[in-house]
Structure formats: structure tokens, C-alpha cells
Chain A
Amino acid sequence: MNLDLTSDQLTLQTAIEQLADHHRTVPTGTIDHFVPGVALERDLEENGFFDVARQDDMGAVEAALLIETIAQLPFTVEVGASALVAPMVLPGQVLPRPIALARAPFTGPVRYLTTAKTALIDTGNDVRLIDLTGANIEPVKTPFAYPYGRLTEGDIAKAKVLKGVSPALLRQWWQVSLAVEIYGVAKAAVDLTVQYVKDRRQFNRPIGQFQSVQHRLAECTMLVHGTRILARRAAWSGKASDAAEAAAYAQEAATRIHYDTHQFHGAMGITAEYPLHLWSFRLKALQGELGGQFEQAKAAAVAHWGA
């Protein structure tokens, strides 16, 4: 056991951070629900980062390191499915990206579907692939800081069954991706809030001096640390039980961190002019994906103790 990053992983992480440094702030005056990271996506593609898991001597852990950092940025970029889920589920096949992930029943809008060129869908019995090139996906307006679109019967009819790919494997790596992304987004939301409570003064003192604020942010910090270590373990081990535990823990953390980061920002946090929502309303979206914490926690129990 050695929980330090290897020298290669540290080198990779440094390269990711250097790229991320060009994309840490949104333009002044941005009031959008979310900000698509067009330039960030281009930089990631040009530098081959989406293929990190397919490189020699690299894999899911390296993809997780990429997602950890990119999710902390204020821009919305599909990275989890492209860099982690697809390479682990279909190691021999490079899919056109962005990639949307969906599962039956196909009743609700799907994250990233409006911009995706491929969708991987879990029907419960098999995994299918939809080529969305040229598709006209109707965007859906949601409260969340991601683009959403709705699959049509026609889209689903075009889906091709991926032989030999199990839905359980897709769900497993989807869970890992969720956990890693929640870590990055949650860390950024907590970091922003910690700085805010140091700066914001009320009652002649920074509000971060109040113990009630300190304790809750310390608890949020514990949740961020716990989310990261479980997500990294799940990426490293490739075990279904680890993935379910990581996602269950992360989705519960997302709920709490969303609430506390907003609470400590007061009214400022609910304005579109202040950037908290760029992270907090990603957390809200990720909190409920794949059935939410209840489903992942059940899956964790079944993986460990059986059904």
C-alpha cells in the first residue's frame, strides 16, 4: 500500500493543473446558468487528455486525476464519460465524444445529450450505443448547471446493442465517474465558501469566525476528503462494491455540501451574478443521477452482503 501518487501520476497531475490554470475564471458579467467550456474542451482534446486512460501504463486512476481537476473549474465540460467510463467499458473502441450516459426507463432528460455525439445507454438487459451525429436533440431547461436533452423513441430505436458489454460494468464506471466528479465540484464549492466566509464581515467580524460556520465547513471538508479517497480507491480497484460505496458516499456528500455552501453565502449565493451556482447546481444534478444515494447505497449493500 502506498497512497502517494507515483512520479508519473504527479507529472500528469501537474500537466493537468497547468492546462487548468488557463480556465479558472469565467468572463466578468457572466450570469448564465452554466458556462460551456468550449476553449477548455479544445485544449483537452488537442493535448490528448481525453485518451489518458488508453495510454500505456495509464488507466482509470489517471482518468480520475483528470476529472478531479477539470471538475473544479467553473466551466461545464463532459469529461467523465469520455475519459473514464467509455475507455473502461469499451477499451478497444474510441467513441466520438462528447458522450452522454443514459439508463432505462428513458423518462427523464439526459445530461450532456444536447452536445453529445454518442450516447451509451443501459437498458437493464444490455448496453446500447446511439450515434447522435446529426441528431436534433431538443434541449431541456433544468435548474441544474449542465446541458440536458431528451432522448426520443426514434433515437432509442437507432441504438445498437454492444455485444459482450454488461450493463453492470457500465453502471460501475458511471458510479466511479460520478464520485470523482462530485469530489472536484464539491471541493471547488467548499473552497469558494471558505474564502467567502473569511472575507464577508457581519457583526464586526468575518462570519468565518463563528464556530457554527467553522464546524459545518470542517464537516464539509471531511466529506470532500472521504469522497476523494473512496473515488480513487474505486478507480484503482475496478471493484463493483468499491464503486457503489464511492458513489453512495459522494452523493450524500453532494446534498450536504450544496446546502451548506449556499447557506454560508446567504442571498449572494442565489444570485446568477455570483458564481457559486456553477458548482452548487452541478452538485444538485449529480446528487440524484443513477437513482441517487439510496440506489448506490443499496447497490453497495448487495455487492457486499448479497441481495
Chain B
Amino acid sequence: MDFEWTAEHNAFRERLRDVLTRTLPADWGVKSRYDTSSEYVSKYSRTFCPMLAKEGLLIPHWAKELGGEGLDGFHHWILGEEMVAAGEPRSYQYMSVNWVGPTLMKYGTKAQVDEFIPKIKSGNFIWCQGFSEPNAGSDLAALSTRAERTKNGYIINGSKIWTSGASFANHCFMLARTGGARRSGVSVFLIPMDAKGVEVRVIPNYIGERTVHEVFFTDVEVPEEWRLGEENKGWDIVTHVLNLERIGIPRYAFSLRVLDHAIDLLKQRGKYSDSAVQARAGRAKAACEASRHMALSIINERVNGRPASATTNVARYALVTSDRMIAEFLGDFLHDDLVGGNDPMIMSGYRRTGSVGIASGAAEVQLDLIARNLLQLPRGD
């Protein structure tokens, strides 16, 4: 057992920090407000990601023959930690490199790979994920957006909701029902966001500027070539995507930075010496370190070639728990900053941690999966 990063891992992290220091503007915090979904960050990502691509840092974990550097899963996770800690200047392009690209390479036709992989590798192509629907959130298999067969392909009708980045994405990786009920009748489609019949509405929310949207599909004509994989076999792709997402985003990386900043502020105000403040800060720090190391344990499984298991759900729930502690700490000890709303890092930390349990599927679903698959508890009615 060895918790030490290799020299190669450390050098990779330093390289990322160096790039971030050299690249991000001095007033990045004020301009970005650490909001992945803001207009500023999404526009910025279209120059930042091509720069990362030139530096070989956009897709370092992809195989060399696919244009990556062939680096291990820990490099990928370090990349995520450093970018998240910086406020995610890749905007939603982290999805492209984490799971959209690898999924297209596994399930896509040659034409689809030829079309999309160069765009993803260029760092200037943003995807959104059209999964959730008004009546299919945590119960994704209940989705009802329909793709009806036509002579030349399909007509899609329905709507998606809670879609991140939809108002500035180029393409949507979406699910529609092409067959029967539940998982057996789902297919995946790759839809240009400027296709006729696609409409987007930003949903005002307290997490970020354009974090969630509604996407409406009205008589959208879709050629056969826009379908990914076999008809009605989309659930296999969904499972693959969720396996790639597994523990998701290393949220604790930003949360730990927020906590450091919060302690600096409390020190300046002479409030940190209060032992209650120290104890609560130490508690939150310990929880973040626990979630970080549980996440690293999952990456360790991946690096050592073992399949995903329900311990992934344990790690994911730990991420939720530690972020909640950060939100509670900010709420209890930096109330005036939250009311004043002037400190972008404190505000972003508070907003992000407020959504942690509902993003990417309700945290309670993780608990269900732990109970069922790890503890082998009997299923309910």
C-alpha cells in the first residue's frame, strides 16, 4: 500500500498548476465567479481547451493511437482535481474528454468517430447530456421522449430537463425511446443543438448562470446516421457512460480550496481562534479527505484493471456528505459573506455544495445501490 504519488504524477500536477498560473487571467475569480456555466467561462473554455490540447493536457488519459498521451487513470483524476480546484476553466468540455469521446470511440461508426473525435480533440466543441426528463429523473428508464421511425430516419418529440450547458452546447448526447418500455426500448442520438425543432430555455436557478435548462424537441428530423449504436440498445451505452462517470467530479478539490479561503477570512477577522470554529473546520477537512481518498480508491481499482463495483456508490455518497459539511460550515460561520454575496469563491462554494446531492442522480439512489449491491439487502416492493 502506497499513498505517495509517483514522481511522474507529481510532475504532471505541477505542470497543470504551471499552465493554470500562466494562463488564467489575474482577475479570473471575479470574471468567472467559479461558475462553470457562466457565459464568461463557457467562452473562455473555447480558447483554454485548445491551449490545453496543444500542451497535451486535454486528453492525456486517452490512448496514444487516439491522440492522447496514454497516461493512467490517476493522471486523469489529477487533471480533474486541478481543473475543478481552479473553478473548471474547461466549462462543460470536461464531459467531452471524460466520457463522450471514449463512448463515441466504443460505439460510434467510423463516420461518427471521424466527425466528432477531431472536434473533441480540438478543445472547441461542447456537448450537453440529454438524459433527464420531467418524469424521468433518478428513474431514468422511465424516459418518454420518442423517436418514431420514418423512411429516412426518425422524428423526435419530447423534452429534456436539468440539462447542463444546453444553451451554449454544440451537440446533445441524448436518449429517446424507439421501442418498448423501460430499458429495452432506448436508443442514443447525437443531435446538433441548431437542428430545426430544438429549442432551449434557461431555467433560473441558484447554482449558476446557465447550469440547468429545458430542451424541447418538436418534430426534429433525425437521419439514421445520428443514432449512436444499435436501435433499442441504448441502455448498454448509458451503463457504459455511467461507468465512465462513476464517481463523477472531484468536487472536494474545489471545496477544500473554499475551506482554505474561508479560514483565511476568519483569521483576518480574529474568529478562527474560536475552538468551535476550529473543530468544525477540522471536521469538514477530515470529511473531504475521506471522500478524496475513497475516490482515489476507486481510481486505484480502475488503474489495476478491476471492474466497477458498488464501492463506487459509497465513494460518490462520501463526496456528497463532505460537500454538505462545507456548505454547513459556510452557512454557520460566513453568514455575512453569503448575505453580502461579494466573495466569488465563497458564493460559488456555497452554491455548488447546495446542489451536490441532486446532480447526476439523487444521492438516495446511491444509497439504494449500496444497500442492494454491496450489503445485499432485500429489494423493496
Contacts and interface: CB of A to CB of B under 8 A. Distances in A.
A167 to B, nearest CB: 19
A301 B281 contact: yes
Contacts of A221: 314, 370, 374-375
B286 interface: yes
A2 B281 CA distance: 29
B116 to A, nearest CB: 33
Contact of B272 (A237, A295, A305): A305
Interface stretch (A42-50, A69-77, A85-93, A208-216): A208-216
Interface in A1-57: 1-6, 9
B318 A226 contact: yes
Given A3-B296, A61-B1, A210 B286 contact: no
A209 B380 contact: yes
A1 B285 contact: no
Contacts of B263: 301, 305
Contact of A299 (B282, B300, B374): B282
Contacts of B290: 226-227, 229-230, 245, 249
Contacts of B275: 294, 298
A267 interface: no
A211 B74 CA distance: 35
A244 B317 contact: no
Contact of B3 (A9, A237, A252, A302): A237
Given A301-B279, A301-B281, A211 B368 contact: yes
Contact of A214 (B280, B291, B311, B377): B377
Nearest to A229: B293
A222 B318 contact: yes
A143 interface: no
Contact of B286 (A6, A218, A245, A307): A245
Contact of A301 (B278, B311, B372, B381): B278
A249 B3 CA distance: 19
B3 A194 contact: no
B278 A302 contact: yes
B135 interface: no
B375 A217 contact: yes
Contact of B289 (A9, A214, A230): A230
Contacts of A160: none
A194 B375 contact: yes
B286 A232 contact: no
Contacts of B379: 209
Nearest to A215: B367
B300 A3 contact: yes
B152 interface: no
A236 interface: yes
B6 interface: yes
A293 B276 CA distance: 12
Contacts of A226: 287, 290-291, 293-294, 318
A21 B212 CA distance: 54
Interface in B255-273: 260, 263, 267, 272-273
Nearest to A246: B286
A246 B286 CA distance: 7
A143 B331 CA distance: 37
A104 B255 CA distance: 36
A217 B377 contact: yes
Nearest to A5: B1
B293 A198 contact: no
A53 B381 CA distance: 50
Nearest to B277: A301
Contacts of B304: 2, 4
A236 B300 contact: no
Interface in A209-263: 209-211, 213-215, 217-219, 221-222, 225-227, 229-230, 232-233, 236-237, 242, 244-246, 248-249, 252
Contacts of B289: 230, 233, 242, 245, 249
A232 to B, nearest CB: 7
B377 A248 contact: no
Nearest to B379: A209
Interface in B1-52: 1-6, 9
A219 B378 contact: no
A158 interface: no
Interface of A: 1-6, 9, 61, 194, 197-198, 205-206, 208-211, 213-215, 217-219, 221-222, 225-227, 229-230, 232-233, 236-237, 242, 244-246, 248-249, 252, 293-302, 304-305, 307
Given A2-B303, A225-B315, 11 more contacts: A1-B4, A218-B314, A229-B294, A230-B290, A237-B3, A296-B282, A297-B286, A298-B275, A298-B278, A305-B267, A307-B273
8 contacts: A208-B378, A209-B379, A215-B364, A218-B366, A221-B370, A225-B314, A226-B291, A248-B283
